[in-house]
Amino acid sequence: MEIFDDLVAEYDRVDRIFAGLSAAEWASPSAAAGWRVVDVLLHLAQTEEAVAATVTGSSVRPGVTGSGQNPVSVDEAMDRWVAAERAGPEVVLPRWREARRRSVEVLRAADPDKASPWASAPLRPATLATTRLAEHWAHTLDITGPLSIPYRDTVRLRHIARLAVRSLPYAFAVAGEQPGPVRVELTGPDGATWRFGPADAPSVISGSAGAFCRVGARRLAPEESGLTTTGHHGATALRVLRNYAA
């Protein structure tokens, strides 16, 4: 399936970036608040391990999401998990490599129609793979930006853009906004036009695919994106846009 091949291609690109870091770069602050560069990769390793665990029905590490009388947000749970398992790159990089290998293996072998528990809702393997692509892309921005490492957009962003559009009803609900049909027309990195959503929707978001995905990843403010909106729901959809569920 295309999404699995594209996920592996993105993992390989991420691997090359992390493998080339110096000791000082590994220890430097990332754009993810409170996390060093090595912490970001640790988080990705942990969540890849969680993918394999949830799809195979194995147990995930306890204490990640809080419980009963003391629930915590997903962000807080992830921060606690990273804090509990911090290590150097000599431990984290091999751990991530094994975790990403295993997660793809499990996703490829899984029943394509069976959804597994994840964040806010169960996801099928292809959608779960798309969320992994989106998360790795967003967190690699957190590394490459501060370190001034080139990280060009690729046509693999199409998966992320489609995920963001499909997640709009959820995004509207989380924000407490009234949902409405939205059409999205984007220009991909290769110059192609990508269209998502109802063709007759009166509300439209248009512009760069890279900017659209960055807004959905909360790495770019809507007003700084250069994206344009029309219709009753266009501006609201851009404001609540998200490539993830949390």
Q: Which residues pair with 206 in a beta bridge?
A: 185, 228
Contact 42, 94 (CB under 8 A): no
Residue pair 10/137 in contact (Cβ under 8 Å)? The answer is yes
Q: How many other β-carbons are positioned within 10 Å of the β-carbon of residue 112? A: 10
**pLDDT tens digit at each of 246 positions of the chain:** 799 999 999 999 999 999 999 999 999 999 999 999 999 999 999 999 999 999 999 866 544 544 445 567 888 999 999 999 999 999 999 999 999 999 999 999 999 999 999 887 899 999 999 999 999 999 999 999 999 999 999 999 999 999 999 999 999 999 999 999 999 999 999 999 999 999 999 999 999 999 999 999 999 999 999 999 999 999 999 999 999 765
- Does a structural domain hold residue 246? no
**Which domain-ending residue is among 91, 114, 147?**
147
Give the residue from 129, 147, 165 where a domain finishes. Answer: 147
Helix (H) or strand (E) holding 244: none
**Whose CA is closest to 174, among 102, 73, 82, 40?**
73
Host H or E run for residue 62:
none
Query: 127 with 181, same domain?
Result: no
pLDDT at 40: 98
- 46: tokens are 């942990």
For residue 172, the model assigns a pLDDT of 95
Longest dimension (CA), the chain: 53
What is the pLDDT at residue 58? Answer: 82
Euclidean distance between CA atoms 236 and 222, whole angstroms: 10
- Single out the residue of 74, 87, 14 nearest to residue 47, CA to CA: 74
Domain that holds residue 165: 157-240
Whether 137 contacts 213, CB under 8 Å: yes
Residue with tokens 């690109």: 13
Task: Determine the pLDDT at residue 244.
Answer: 78
Residues 163, 96 share a domain: no
Give the CA count within 13 Å in the CB-facing half-sphere of 183.
13
9 and 75 together in one domain? yes
Residue 203 three-state SS = strand
Say whether both 103 and 185 belong to one domain.
Answer: no
Phi and psi at 123, nearest 5°, equal -130, 145
CA distance 146 to 139: 12
CB 184 within 8 A of CB 199: no
Q: Could you tell me the pTM of the whole model?
A: 0.93
Structural domain total, the chain = 2
Residue ending a domain, choose from 102, 122, 147 = 147
CATH number of the domain at 171, please.
Answer: 3.30.1050
- Same domain assignment for residues 106 and 124: yes
